[in-house]
Structure 1
Amino acid sequence: MKRILFFIVIIGMSLSGYAQEEFNAKYKPIPPKETKKKKEIPPKEISPKVTPPDIVKKPDSLLVDPKKLFNDINYYKKEANTEGIYYKKNQYLGSIKTKSLTSKVRYRDAAFLDGDYIRVFLNNKVIVPEVVLEGDYKEFEIKLQKGINRIDIEALNEGFAPPNTAQFEVYDDKGVTVMSDQWNVGKGYKASIIIIKE
């Protein structure tokens, strides 16, 4: 009898342990707390600071007439009338106006490193007597005079791969590229750049 009573007590305890309190009538769930929604302010757009690249100005071909420029046969070699050879003549590379006090000209061989030599003149005076064109840029700086400043680059040879070729860049005194081009001239001929200081 004690055993039966014991089993009844155990079964009763186990049934009360599995009962769920949630279904009790006294239980009330707590509602969630309402939060006020703040109006979202979009972040301010900050545009990145981008410095535009230096503008290469096109040469103003109206400043100097190349036909009149190369008329001086004592200074410029006469054009050779050889059919199929286009570089046996002087080459006008253009002209620019500037307010700079100085100008820097950088140059290098534009094609094969074939031993091209040049001589540089400023207003008919030699400023670079002889230099070989290489793959790296070389440069010279000139002090600009008011008015016309004529730079002439004379081809002293044509290397082993004619003609004498070079790429050049002209900078003002602020380091801005104002002209960029290349020359292709035969031995004894000149490539000319005109810089007019205002």
Structure 2
Amino acid sequence: MKKILFLVMMIGISLHGFAQDELNKKQQSIPPKNSENKEVIPPTEAPPKDEPLPLSKEPIVLKINPDELFNNNILYKREANVEGIFYRRNEYLGGFVTKSFTSTIRYRDAAFVDGDKIKVYLNDKVIEPEVVLDGSYKGFKINLVKGINKIDFEALNEGSASPNTAEFQVYDDKGEVIESSQWNVGKGYKAVIILYKE
């Protein structure tokens, strides 16, 4: 019985050793059938880079009086005349003329990431009801209508460190920077940029 058991074990060990022989051979890669015909992949639209880019060329600036713009008490909170507090007011970020069909708007917390929240409007209609600003860019793409395209960023809070601060970038449909700047507004106030499509 011991001899039979020994014989079965020896056969099992030898078979096991032969089975492992395949793993010792080096792998050979299979060459492609026809390496000359490579499939051409069309380029995709590249998102804007995180670093602020230099302005492409001097943008055409609209001549708009911010006092007249912020005169509407329904749309804009009145400036608080508190001595030493500069941010309890609406902020006009500029008006720019473009021939672009679309625009990409991106924003992030400009200073200490402290929980700043904003609401975004396009031509007085809410398009982003609540956005929490953090260290990385967030944003959206809009189709520009002929004429005025007014974008309002309303501060829903001031985070743990006043005021509500953000860095923003506006790009045209070619990925070139139209404007890049910052806002500093108090709770309930708005930062406004206007794009005029020719």
Q: Whole-Å Cα distance in 2 between the matches of residues 123 and 75 of structure 1?
A: 11
Structure 2: gaps (5+ residues): 1-52
Q: Find the counterpart in structure 2 of residue 26 from structure 1.
A: none
Q: Find the counterpart in structure 2 of residue 96 from structure 1.
A: 96
| Residue identity opposite 2:114 in structure 1 | D
Q: Find the counterpart in structure 1 of residue 109 from structure 2.
A: 109
Q: Is the 8 A contact 2:108 2:136 kept in 1?
A: yes
Q: Whole-Å Cα distance in 2 between the matches of residues 58 and 118 of structure 1?
A: 29
Q: Find the counterpart in structure 1 of residue 134 from structure 2.
A: 134
How do residues 20-169 of structure 1 correspond to structure 2 at under 5 angstroms? 55-57=55-57, 62-169=62-169
* Equivalent position SS for 1:64: coil
The TM-score, its normalising length taken from structure 2, stands at 0.71
TM-fit CA distance, 1:113:
0.5
* Equivalent position SS for 2:68: helix
Q: Is the 8 A contact 2:76 2:190 kept in 1?
A: yes
Q: Compute the RMSD of aligned alpha carbons.
A: 1.4
Residues 72-116 of structure 1: CA distance to partner in whole angstroms, max 9, x if unpaired?
000100000000000000000001100010000010000011000
Q: Find the counterpart in structure 2 of residue 33 from structure 1.
A: none
Cα pair distance change 1:64/1:114, threshold 3 Å: same
Q: Whole-Å Cα distance in 2 between the matches of residues 144 and 177 of structure 1?
A: 16
How many residues are aligned here? 146
* Equivalent position SS for 1:77: coil
Q: Is the 8 A contact 2:116 2:158 kept in 1?
A: yes
Q: Is the 8 A contact 2:121 2:152 kept in 1?
A: yes
Identity value in percent: 63
TM-fit CA distance, 1:139:
1.1
Q: Whole-Å Cα distance in 2 between the matches of residues 58 and 78 of structure 1?
A: 32
Q: Find the counterpart in structure 1 of residue 193 from structure 2.
A: 193
Q: Whole-Å Cα distance in 2 between the matches of residues 87 and 60 of structure 1?
A: 27
Q: Is the 8 A contact 2:62 2:97 kept in 1?
A: no
| Residue identity opposite 1:155 in structure 2 | A
Q: Whole-Å Cα distance in 2 between the matches of residues 60 and 67 of structure 1?
A: 21
Q: Which moved more, 1:55-64 or 1:134-143?
A: 55-64
Cα pair distance change 1:93/1:57, threshold 3 Å: farther
Cα pair distance change 1:86/1:92, threshold 3 Å: same
* Equivalent position SS for 1:168: strand
Q: Is the 8 A contact 2:149 2:196 kept in 1?
A: yes
| Residue identity opposite 1:110 in structure 2 | A
* Equivalent position SS for 1:55: coil
Q: After TM superposition, where is structure 1 displaced by more than 2 Å over at least 4 residues in a row?
A: 53-63
Q: Is the 8 A contact 2:155 2:164 kept in 1?
A: yes
